[in-house]
């Protein structure tokens, strides 16, 4: 891969029950800032309202939105850009929640060894093959379909529930 800009992010770490965010800059030209926010649901004027707040304290069953904000800070297009995000073993990916404009989204159930789209991830269990379930995913990957021009920025992410 010529001029490859590969970004790997571990955006959430569970340390003493507190979620923290990690900022990481690719040594070539991609800057990545990651955050984790907890979904809170309130009823206002009879309407359900979902807000995102910093995930400082997360309890079992809470939904967390993990977002990677990327920016090409270099002076040339970033070709073959990929962002890979592990899913904490304390979290369960919420099916269909991954987002990322301009990227092909794939998943892994084997700790990042293989990636594919939902329905194509085949798991062998007790000698039988079956399609991997979303709650078994260990990683999410975004592979951009076109070079990221200088100054291009955006967000990719997913939702997961604390076990």
Residue recorded with tokens 């404009």 = 101
Residue-level pLDDT at 24: 37
List of residues 6+ apart from 113 with CB closer than 8 A: none
Name the pTM for this structure. Answer: 0.82
Residue-level pLDDT at 28: 63
Closest among 151, 159, 142 to 6, alpha carbons compared: 142
- Specify the CATH architecture of the domain 4-162: Sandwich (2.60)
Residue 112 in 3-state DSSP? coil
The domain locations on the chain are 4-162
pLDDT at 125 over 90: no
pLDDT at 92 over 90: yes
CA–CA separation, 106 and 84 (whole Å): 9
CA–CA separation, 75 and 32 (whole Å): 16
> In this structure, how many other beta carbons lie within 10 angstroms of the beta carbon of residue 144?
22
pLDDT at 10 over 60: no
């Amino acid at each position: 891969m010529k001029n490859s800009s590969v970004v790997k992010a571990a955006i959430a770490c569970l340390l003493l029950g507190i979620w923290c965010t990690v900022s990481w800059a690719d040594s070539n030209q991609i800057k990545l800032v990651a955050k984790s926010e907890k979904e809170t649901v309130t009823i206002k004027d009879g309407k359900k309202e979902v807000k995102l707040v910093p995930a400082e304290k997360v309890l079992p069953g809470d939904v967390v939105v993990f977002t990677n904000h990327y920016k090409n800070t270099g002076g040339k297009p970033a070709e073959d850009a990929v962002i890979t995000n592990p899913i904490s073993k304390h979290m369960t990916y919420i099916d269909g929640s991954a987002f990322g404009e301009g990227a092909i989204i794939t998943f892994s159930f084997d700790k990042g060894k293989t990636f594919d789209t939902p329905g194509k991830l085949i798991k062998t269990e007790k000698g039988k093959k079956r399609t991997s379930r979303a709650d078994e995913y260990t990683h999410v990957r975004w592979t951009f379909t076109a070079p990221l021009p200088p100054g291009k920025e955006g967000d990719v992410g997913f939702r997961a529930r604390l076990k």
